[in-house]
Structure 1
Amino acid sequence: MIIERAYRGSVETQFADVLYFVRELHRQSGGVDIALRGPAAGYAVDTEFEPAIRIAGRVLDSLPDPRHSLRQLLDDGVGVWVEEPDLAVLGPSARDRLVPGVHVVPAHEPASRWPDYERVWFF
């Protein structure tokens, strides 16, 4: 699965973000791998940010946390790759703050593996 779009409307989706969907596909299909590209490369970088917003004076803190979801995927055995140029855009320390278990690969390297997979999906 190639994941390029990072934001999918946190308030609308709440717990069911794209990584939640990936986890369910992994469970039902017997296994998936994901490559993070573009803005979604930020999912692979550890941060202290806590997803929450204030709406009309009320704090909504039940928003999805992609780093938590990514850790669950890794624990489930999902292979996770992030393309190096997209990681580099996030700053010089991004590589040092990778979520453990995420692999950094050169640009477009995951595409060379597509023939090894039954299907390739883009999100």
Structure 2
Amino acid sequence: MADQARWLLIVEKAYRGSVETQFADALYCVPELHRQSGGCDLVLRGPAAGYALATDFTPELRIGGRTLASLPDPGASVTRLMAAGVTVMVEEDGLTALGRTARDRLLPGVRVIEGGALASRWPAYEQVWFL
């Protein structure tokens, strides 16, 4: 599964960003890490498993008469990462915690892995990063 030079990136915290970080979310640096490393695999676990779900939610914030529509959209970020060649996986435990319909709402191309199996994959990677 993992090539020798690939890096494993793990995201556990589900932080959507804020008005102050409209341009960024927890996945903001992944495209550059993918490019510089020769390839990355991304695992979403815990609350961050929600990043891998299709949703109708539009990240917008209304402040007074102004609507900010430039807030981070993790689902769109995950879709762009997969299009760039990043393998995206979600831990089954995190997915289960999101409810019984979560698996049905996975973005196309996201792989589900067993929760206890993640650490056993680490030796196959050049580096393991927690973002």
Q: Judging by fraction of residues, say which structure has more strand.
A: 2
Counterpart of 2:74, as a letter, is: P
> Percent identity among equivalent residues?
63
Q: Secondary structure at the match of 1:19?
A: coil
Aligned to 1:86: 94
* Matched residue type, 1:111: A
Q: Which of residues 122, 127, 131 is equivalent to 1:119?
A: 127
Contact 2:42 2:88 (C-alpha < 8 Å) held by counterparts: yes
Assess if the C-alpha contact under 8 Å between 2:15 and 2:26 holds in 1. no
CA distance in 1, matches of 2:95, 2:68: 29
Count of residue pairs brought into register by the alignment? 123
Q: CA deviation at 1:2?
A: 0.7
> Which residue identity lines up with residue 97 of structure 1 in the other structure?
R
Indicate if the aligned counterparts of 2:16 and 2:74 stay in contact, CA closer than 8 A.
no
Structure 1 residues 45 and 8: CA distance shift in structure 2, 3 A: closer
Per-residue deviation at 1:18? 1.9
TM-score, normalised to structure 1's length?
Answer: 0.94
Quick one: distance in 1 between partners of 2:16 and 2:128?
20
Structure-2 separation of matches of 1:80 and 1:113: 14
Secondary structure at 2:77's aligned position in 1? helix
Deviation at 1:17, TM superposition (A): 1.7
Measured in 2, the distance between the counterparts of 1:108 and 1:29 equals: 26
**Deviation at residue 84 of structure 1 after TM alignment:** 0.7
C-alpha contact 2:16 2:72 (8 A) present in aligned 1: no
1:106 aligns with 2:118: no
1:75 and 2:83 correspond: yes
Q: Which ranges of 4 or more aligned residues in structure 1 deviate by more than 4 Å?
A: none
Structure 1 unaligned runs (5+)? none
